[in-house]
Structures are given as structure tokens and as C-alpha cells.
Amino acid sequence: MAIQILRDLRGLRVHVVHPPDSERTKLVEHLRRIGCMVEMQWPVPECWQEGADIVLLAIEHDMRTEMQRLLKSDVNRRPTLIAVVSYEDPSTLQLVLEVGAVAVIERPIRPFGLLTNITIARSLWMERREADKRVRKLERKLAGIQRIQKAKSILMDGQGLSEADAYESIRRQAMSKRLSMDDMASAIIHANELLQYRAKGD
């Protein structure tokens, strides 16, 4: 993956959210020298720019509210985030932690270390994204198992079936209706909730 990240650096869309000053000019020049496609913006936008692979965000204390608003916007579109800082004090570090940056670039901007920071940040971001995908997949699987277990309990209580027979009943119904076991379990749970609701209404 590391080799692929290095190959992909040229052509990455980098969004520089930084006040228009000499530091931003130097940063943009270095990024373009690396081969990145750079867009600039200030003040902090309300949402992530569509198509941005990396955002370099200047950590400015008077922009805390705007940064927090940006972080709450469309989590699924969130790119690799690198903080650009001038100070290494507790309040600045607190802001860096709040924005969830995966790397930090110090001002004054220097060419040395920029490529390394971008590469490491991109690698960490991709690993985090893959880990999040695995977690969501496991959560969906666990939720499905829990639904099947609940559907089995409904059939066991309602029809006096054993656990094995209840499972087999769900499996047969799922096959006959061409549904997944999870979808069949959801249908059984939903039907049972409707019956209970109607019973309360009577």
C-alpha cells in the first residue's frame, strides 16, 4: 500500500484552508512541486470540498467554531486532514486533537518533511478508513445475528419449537422467499410487533 500511496501523490487534490499570506504561498508552491493539484480557501468552509483527497487546515484559535462546524459536516466525505500550526502549546494541541488531524505541519513552512507528512497522513487515513469499514461490517453481522436470535425466540415462544427447529424454519422461509436469513428474521420480528400492537389495541 505504501508504494501505491507514493505513486498516487502526483495528482492528489489538496485543499489548503489557510489565511492568504506568505506561509500559504510557500505551502502551495511546495505542494505543486510535489505534483499535487492545489486549491485554496479562507475562511474555513462550512463543508468538505467535493473531491478533495487531502485538506491542510490552518489551526487558528479564532476559527474554532467554524472548524467544529466543518468537522460535523458529511463524515463520509471527510478527506485526509493535516493540521498546520504555528505554536506547540496546550490550547493549539487541543484544537489539533479536536479536528482529528492525522499529521501536523509547522509554520514557518519548510520543504523538508512535507512529503513525509503527507505520505504518512495518507497512509494512516487509508488504514483508518479500512478499519472503520471492517468495524461497520462486523457491527452489521452482529446485528444480524441478534435479529436471527430474536426471531428464533419468537418462533420458540409462539410455536413451541426447539432452537434448532426455529432456526431451520427461518432458513426454509428465507430460501422459499429468496431472502437472506437476516431479512427473514427482520420480517418475523416486524410481524410479531404488529401482532402485539393489534393485541394491545383490542
* Cβ atoms 24, 18 nearer than 8 A: yes
* 36 closest CA partner among 70, 1, 6: 6
Amino acid making up residue 115: L
Q: Classify residue 125 as left (phi > 0), alpha (psi -120 to 50) or beta.
A: alpha
Continuous segment of H or E residues that includes residue 61: none
Residue range 134-171, pLDDT digits in tens:
888 899 989 989 999 999 998 898 888 888 888 899 99
Q: What is the pLDDT of residues 50-74, one digit of tens each?
A: 888 888 999 888 888 888 888 887 7
pLDDT for the residue 9? 65
3-state helix vs strand vs coil in the chain, percent to 5: 65, 10, 25
- Give pTM, 2 decimals: 0.65
Torsion sign, CA atoms 75, 81, 84, 89? positive
Q: Is 43 helix (H, G, I), strand (E, B) or coil?
A: coil
What tens digit of pLDDT does each residue of 115-127 get? 778 888 888 877 8
- Say yes or no to pLDDT of 34 above 70: yes
Q: Are strands 13-17 and 37-41 parallel, antiparallel or unpaired?
A: parallel
pLDDT-derived band of residue 7, with 50, 70 and 90 as boundaries?
low
By DSSP bridging, strand 80-85 and strand 103-106 are parallel
| Cα separation, 180 vs 67, whole angstroms | 43
Residue 49 grid cell: 470540498
Handedness of CA 97, 78, 30, 10 (dihedral sign): positive
Three-state SS for 60?
coil
Question: CA end-to-end span of the chain, whole Å?
Answer: 62
Task: Judge whether 174 and 183 are in contact, CB under 8 Å.
Answer: yes
